[in-house]
């Protein structure tokens, strides 16, 4: 079991959704929390909410796709804490659903910039930081079930998350090869969790704007409704409980919908080995598997 009391956890994308849920849960266990986020308004509001719960939490403005922004954030963290025990390399975005031939290069640049370069900077910077500390650290990076098989209309997201899984695996593999045990690496592959992620387009930076398609707010139906249940959607609290339990077990691969993700991994692996058509997560009957397999 991890003992979070008195430790320091940095959580990117901590202003909302799974990141905020982790901040709350760890803060309640006595951990010192640093949330970072590109959304300053939401970040400051999250800091106040956490403080009101009696949690020692502070917010830092941070764009994970920008290397200098990581350096600035780390300098600010070092002013406050001599050691960091956990990095939750969590922030991410989803672009609008669009077929490959309708995607513009700015769609790819925005998604890969945040979802691939963001975690890569986090792994590089915090591995270096934690390697130099006396205590051991853990870096828990968030990918997605979208990583394990193609996903029509969400190609950039699926590609970015597949790359993140392999990135974390390479970090852990090299740590094993060179017998470096200062940092333990994990990758989280959530299924559908009730968060604000489908509204990422509303905060898309202007340099990546797609003027053809103005973003519209999406009001998603929650866990427990027919629409929410279709993909086995679960609440942030449930997802965080599952993630923290697997961190306690010391797992490298962490799931929120283990059986659903396992089914996709097996079907995709069999497609590769038997030369069948790749699995398309857009048309997979999630409802069937979610009901049957969700644990």
Using CB under 6 A as the criterion, which residues of the chain lie in contact with ligand NAD when the complex forms?
12-13, 15-19, 37-39, 42, 62-65, 90-93, 114, 118, 142, 144, 190, 192-193, 195-197, 200, 203
For residue 16, the minimal CB distance to ligand NAD (Å) is: 3
Among the listed residues 86, 157, 255, 289, the single catalytic one is: 157
Catalytic (active site) residue 58:
no
Which DSSP symbol is given to 278? P
Report in angstroms how near the CB of residue 230 gets to ligand NAD at its nearest.
13
CB of residue 239 vs ligand NAD: minimum separation in angstroms? Answer: 8
Per-residue b/e over 180-194, b at no fewer than 16 CB within 10 Å?
eeebbbbbbbbbbbb
Q: DSSP per residue over 91-124, as a string?
A: ----PPP--GGG--HHHHHHHHIIIIIHHHHHHH
Nearer to ligand NAD, 118 or 150 (CB): 118
Whichever of 131 and 280 has its CB closer to ligand NAD, that residue is: 280
Distances from the Cα of 136 to the Cα of 129, 131, 165, 181, 278, angstroms: 11, 8, 22, 8, 40
What are the start-end ranges of the E strands in 177-227? Answer: 183-189
> What are the residues whose beta carbons fall under 8 Å from the beta carbon of 56, sequence distance 6 or more?
27, 32, 33
Q: Which residue is associated with the tokens 């309708």?
A: 102
Provide the minimum distance between the beta carbon of 176 and ligand NAD in the complex, in angstroms, as a whole number: 25
Give whichever of 85 and 201 is closer to ligand NAD, judged by the CB atom. 201
Q: Examine the residue annotation and report whether 255 is marked as an active-site residue of this protein.
A: no
Q: What angle do CA 109, 113, 118 make, to 5 degrees?
A: 170
Active-site hit among 161, 171, 200, 208: 161
Specify whether 144 is catalytic. Answer: yes
The set of residues, in sequence order, having a beta carbon less than 8 Å from that of 170 and lying 6+ positions away, is none
CA distance 19 to 291: 26
Between 137 and 191, CB nearer to ligand NAD: 191
Q: Provide the minimum distance between the beta carbon of 83 and ligand NAD in the complex, in angstroms, as a whole number.
A: 23
Which CB sits closer to ligand NAD, 10 or 130? 10
Q: Which residues have a catalytic role annotated?
A: 144, 157, 161
């Amino acid at each position: 079991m991890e003992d979070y009391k008195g430790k320091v956890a940095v959580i990117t994308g901590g202003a909302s959704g799974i990141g905020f849920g982790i901040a709350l849960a760890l803060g309640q266990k006595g951990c010192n929390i640093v949330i970072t986020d590109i959304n300053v308004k939401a970040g400051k509001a999250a800091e106040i909410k956490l403080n009101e719960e009696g949690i020692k939490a502070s917010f830092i403005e941070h764009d994970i796709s920008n290397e200098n922004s990581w350096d600035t954030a780390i300098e600010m963290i070092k002013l406050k804490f001599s050691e960091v025990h956990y990095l939750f390399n969590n922030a991410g975005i989803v672009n609008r659903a669009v077929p490959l031939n309708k995607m513009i290069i700015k769609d790819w640049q925005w998604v890969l910039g945040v979802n691939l370069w963001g975690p890569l900077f986090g792994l590089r910077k915090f591995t270096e930081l934690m390697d130099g500390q006396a205590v051991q650290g853990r870096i828990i990076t968030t990918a997605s079930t979208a990583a394990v098989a193609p996903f029509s209309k969400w190609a950039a997201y699926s590609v970015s998350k597949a790359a993140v899984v392999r990135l974390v695996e390479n970090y852990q593999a090299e740590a094993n090869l060179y017998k470096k045990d200062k940092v333990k690496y994990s990758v989280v592959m959530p299924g559908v969790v009730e968060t604000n992620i489908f509204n990422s387009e509303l905060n898309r930076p202007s340099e990546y704007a797609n003027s053809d398609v103005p973003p519209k707010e999406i009001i998603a139906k929650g866990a427990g409704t027919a629409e929410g249940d279709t993909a086995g959607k679960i609440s942030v609290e449930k997802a965080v409980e599952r993630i923290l339990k697997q961190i306690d077990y010391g797992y490298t691969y962490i799931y929120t919908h283990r059986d659903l993700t396992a089914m996709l991994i097996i079907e995709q692996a069999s497609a590769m080995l038997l030369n069948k058509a790749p699995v398309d997560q857009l048309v997979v009957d999630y409802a069937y598997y979610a009901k049957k397999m969700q644990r």
